[in-house]
Amino acid sequence: MLRLSLSVAAAAFLAGCGGVEEDVAVSHDGGHAMSEMVPDAVQALAPLPDDGVAPVINVGAAWMRPHPQGRDVTAAYFTVSLDAGAADRLVSARIDGADRVELHGHTMDPETGMMQMRPIGPQEIGTAGPLLFAPGGHHLMVFGLDPVVEGQSVSGVLVFERAGEIPVEFDVRSTAPAAALD
């Protein structure tokens, strides 16, 4: 219930707020306190049950924004579908050459009422629909990667609880690929 109301609030707030990840990314440089914050719910996650079917994960529309001038932080996006099996969880991600990659979402700071980006826990993917990491919503925050420019591609992996490591190629581009908008 809490999670649902937060999502609705986030969607309402972010509707007119494209590119927010880049803007807020700047504030990440100030300290590391944020990466040490882990939502309480994460610690309570039990392993997914083995339903007897090996999960088949498909990753599509993977892309990464060029670095804002002078920054070493950028955001990456993708869609994940579960084509076999009942459930899996995206646990973490790695990108070649990056110091660190975090799963980020937007939540409301109860103190200030402002939306903030912060690390989020594992993201479940079920049969209900794809898992979307898209501008204004969940994203990968990529730290310490040498600056990338439009037209490059960058290799990485998404790590799932059951399916393991899935290789991904992120196209560097400044707008979402058409496939991500379907």
Residues of this chain that interact with Cu ion (CB under 5 A) are 104, 117, 141
Q: How far is the CB of 138 from Cu ion (least distance, A)?
A: 9
CA dihedral sign of residues 24, 92, 137, 115? negative
Extract the tokens encoding 147: 């600056």
Decide whether 23 or 150 has the Cβ nearer to Cu ion.
Answer: 23
- The three-state secondary structure class of 140 is strand
Q: How far is the CB of 62 from Cu ion (least distance, A)?
A: 17
Q: How far apart are CA 141 and CA 39, in angstroms?
A: 17
Decide whether 23 or 96 has the Cβ nearer to Cu ion.
Answer: 23
Q: How far is the CB of 120 from Cu ion (least distance, A)?
A: 10
Q: How far apart are CA 23 and CA 7, in angstroms?
A: 20
Q: How far is the CB of 49 from Cu ion (least distance, A)?
A: 31
Q: How far is the CB of 25 from Cu ion (least distance, A)?
A: 6
Decide whether 89 or 106 has the Cβ nearer to Cu ion.
Answer: 106
Decide whether 141 or 148 has the Cβ nearer to Cu ion.
Answer: 141
CA dihedral sign of residues 42, 47, 49, 55? positive
Cβ-proximal residue to Cu ion, closest one? 104
Decide whether 81 or 123 has the Cβ nearer to Cu ion.
Answer: 123
Decide whether 59 or 120 has the Cβ nearer to Cu ion.
Answer: 120
CA distances from 156 to 66, 80, 98 (A): 16, 14, 9
Closest to 100 in 3D by CA, of 13, 47, 22, 32? 32
Could you tell me which residues are beta bridge partners of residue 32?
none
Q: How far is the CB of 141 from Cu ion (least distance, A)?
A: 4
Could you tell me which residues are beta bridge partners of residue 182?
none
